[in-house]
Amino acid sequence: MGIESGKGCGLAGQHVGTLMTYPDIEMLIDGEWTGSATTEPVINPATGEEIGRVPHATTAQLDQALAATKKGFAEWSAASPWARAQVMEKAARLLEERKETIARYCTMEMGKPIGESLIEMDFVIGVTRWCAEEGRRAYGRLIPGRAPDHRYSAIVEPVGPSCAFVAWNFPGTNVIRKVAHALGAGCSLIVKPSEETPATGMEIVRAFHDAGVPKGALQLVFGVPDNVSRHLIASPITKKVSFTGSVPVGKHLLRLSADTVTRATMELGGHAPVLVFEGADIEATAKLVGGFKFRNAGQVCISPTRFLIEKPVYEPFVDALTAVAESQNVGNGLDDGVTMGPLIAERRVDAMERFVGDAKDRGARITTGGQRMGNQGSFFNPTVLADMTDDAVMMNEEPFGPLAAVSACSGVDEMITRANRLEVGLAAYAFGADRQTSDRLSQEIETGMLGINTPMISLPETPFGGIDESGYGHEGGIEGLAAYQRTRLIVERV
Ligand code: NAD
């Protein structure tokens, strides 16, 4: 059995009381659940306690997975899209049955409130169903030729055995966006979730395995991230790599992919600007976008970060956002009523302190928060930094934490210029713009995704992805499946 953990950090909320078990972490290689002699601890970020151990794959195990993914691809890609959809639908049903348990593992290893983990599991199930269905529509096309006796067919086929590496911030969503799109398109996949949050990904893979995905078609490994990714990407068996995580790691993986001309999808970091115009309902906007800011303690690639506010509504917006930050109930995500959990690890608390210290030195006004919380677990106060200037480190590097930077602007031209200042372009938001300005923002904001009067920009059926240094390729929507497909042209003289 796994290791028991039942202590909350006591910062807020009523502790659930019951002891939670955390599962033994194993890898799935060639259809067998397996461990390794080398392991590392899994830490509950709310308590600082070790709750489990995650195995590291040996080179021999990675080679075994590579051999198996080739065989798994042959079998899975030969199955009809309809048959594949049946297996994936069964996996969705199993995930539904198991979602409460998996959500608890997610909160224990990552820290987010249990309500957020449950919503994440619903998204996992939704993506599985979307990909199962949409995978049946890999149509290809017939192209009219120039000579009557020539027939041109563009056939869509799975790209081949794939591998994926994902970050810890959405232990379920990040994993399913790789697994369901790869399998839905007919590819085999070796997935490596973050070693910091292994159980959620393991249970997702288990549901697909139990649903009947063939041996080798879906495998799970853990290890030293750089060793695993180097080894898998260098193999000629691997035809596609997909990564969710930071820009520097994404660039590193792209360099490795270049050596083998392996196709890549990169879902990297962002630094989302939020443009608030005079016409916005300030209280309602601050509530909506502020709630979104502190979701997952700000550890979200599309988290609203740079709040660019029109001068006439600047001070009311700062006050309203401060009130939202102060209304957060910070604590152990398993406790009732908690709205914000800890950061993933102590290193991120240190990073928040650096961002805040630097902003203070440059004259920022901290209206609330600004410090670590408690003496157990990696908690940081929901923080609002007003009067931010663009030279502050936080205005240039993704904070990936519960920090909101607010700055006054004199109008739409300045807001667009400042929104577009960085090399990343993942998500952007605008509130209260008139029709004409909204049209202008739709064309001029350099971003992969723009939310106008809403932060809800992601569904299983919509494309999710960034531009510039936020990466390329999409997950979600028909684009998410296309990322795992290639086109073959057949020309027949008849
Ligand atoms: P990090 O860059 O060290 O790690 C991010 C993730 O990449 C981790 O899960 C890690 O296991 C994985 N990783 C690292 N090196 C790898 C390699 N060589 N091969 C394969 N995977 C590898 O950063 P961190 O301290 O864990 O997180 C902080 C930063 O990461 C933030 O500033 C944020 O920009 C970024 N981040 C972005 C996302 C996203 O969704 N875009 C998610 C998590 C973290």
- In the prediction, which pLDDT does 375 show? 86
**Lookup: tokens for 457:** 């920009």
Does the domain at 17-268+470-490 match CATH 3.40.605.10? Answer given as: yes
Topology of the domain comprising 272-459: Aldehyde Dehydrogenase; Chain A, domain 2 (3.40.309)
Q: How remote is the CA of residue 246 from the centroid of ligand 1, in Å?
A: 5
Q: Is residue 13 in contact with ligand 1, taking CB distance under 6 Å?
A: no
Nearest residue by C-alpha to atom 12 in ligand 1: 167
Q: Is residue 226 in contact with ligand 1, taking CB distance under 6 Å?
A: yes
- In the prediction, which pLDDT does 494 show? 87
Active site residue 106: no
Active-site residue, from 267, 398, 469, 475: 267
> What is the DSSP code (8-state) at residue 23?
P
- In the prediction, which pLDDT does 19 show? 54
Q: How remote is the CA of residue 293 from the centroid of ligand 1, in Å?
A: 19
- In the prediction, which pLDDT does 17 show? 38
pLDDT one-digit tens code per residue, 2-41: 333 333 333 433 334 345 799 999 999 999 999 999 999 9
Q: Is residue 167 in contact with ligand 1, taking CB distance under 6 Å?
A: yes
Helix (H, G, I), strand (E, B) or coil at 438: helix
Counting as low any pLDDT under 70, the low residues of the chain are 1-19
**Torsion from C-alpha of 244, 246, 249, 250, nearest 10 degrees:** 50
Q: Give the integer Cα–Cα distance in Å for 400 and 271.
A: 9
Q: Give the integer Cα–Cα distance in Å for 123 and 212.
A: 22
Q: Give the integer Cα–Cα distance in Å for 139 and 226.
A: 37
Q: Give the integer Cα–Cα distance in Å for 138 and 146.
A: 26
78 Cα distance to chain centroid: 30
Chain position carrying tokens 């240039």 = 396
Q: Give the integer Cα–Cα distance in Å for 114 and 119.
A: 9
CB 229 within 8 A of CB 253: yes
Beta strands in 126-170 (DSSP E): 141-143, 150-158, 162-166
CB 211 within 8 A of CB 198: no
21 Cα distance to chain centroid: 25
Q: Where are the alpha helices (DSSP H) in 111-260?
A: 114-134, 173-185, 198-211, 225-234, 247-260
Chain position carrying tokens 């910062």 = 11
The DSSP line for 217-279 is: TEEE--S-HHHHHHHHHHSTT--EEEEES-HHHHHHHHHHHHHHT-EEEEE----EEEEE-TT
Q: How remote is the CA of residue 243 from the centroid of ligand 1, in Å?
A: 9
pLDDT one-digit tens code per residue, 378-396: 999 999 999 999 999 999 9
Q: Residues 159, 163, 167, CA angle at the centre, nearest 5°?
A: 135
Taking alpha carbons only, the member of 99, 102, 92, 94 closest to residue 129 is: 92
The secondary structure element, H or E, covering residue 290 is helix 282-294
Q: Give the integer Cα–Cα distance in Å for 313 and 324.
A: 16
CB within 8 A of 160, min separation 6: which ones? Answer: 73, 187, 188, 238, 239, 240
Q: Give the integer Cα–Cα distance in Å for 493 and 248.
A: 49
- In the prediction, which pLDDT does 14 show? 33
Domain positions in the chain are 17-268+470-490, 272-459
Q: Give the integer Cα–Cα distance in Å for 233 and 193.
A: 16
β-sheet bridge partners, residue 431:
276
CB 271 within 8 A of CB 398: yes
pLDDT one-digit tens code per residue, 241-250: 999 999 999 9
449-452 and 427-431: which strand pairing? parallel
Q: How remote is the CA of residue 112 from the centroid of ligand 1, in Å?
A: 17
Helix (H, G, I), strand (E, B) or coil at 358: helix
pLDDT one-digit tens code per residue, 132-150: 999 999 899 999 999 999 9
Helix (H, G, I), strand (E, B) or coil at 323: helix
Q: How far apart are the first and last CA of the chain?
A: 64
The DSSP line for 50-74 is: EEEEEE---HHHHHHHHHHHHHHHH
Q: Give the integer Cα–Cα distance in Å for 485 and 245.
A: 22
Active site residue 409: no
Q: Give the integer Cα–Cα distance in Å for 433 and 440.
A: 10
- In the prediction, which pLDDT does 272 show? 98
Of 249, 300, 344, best ligand 1 pocket probe by most atoms within 8 Å of the beta carbon: 249
Q: Residues 297, 267, 182, CA angle at the centre, nearest 5°?
A: 115
Q: Give the integer Cα–Cα distance in Å for 261 and 277.
A: 45
CB 202 within 8 A of CB 23: yes
Amino acid at 176: I
Nearest residue by C-alpha to atom 30 in ligand 1: 246
Chain position carrying tokens 């102060």 = 326
Taking alpha carbons only, the member of 55, 174, 165, 43 closest to residue 111 is: 43
Q: How remote is the CA of residue 114 from the centroid of ligand 1, in Å?
A: 23
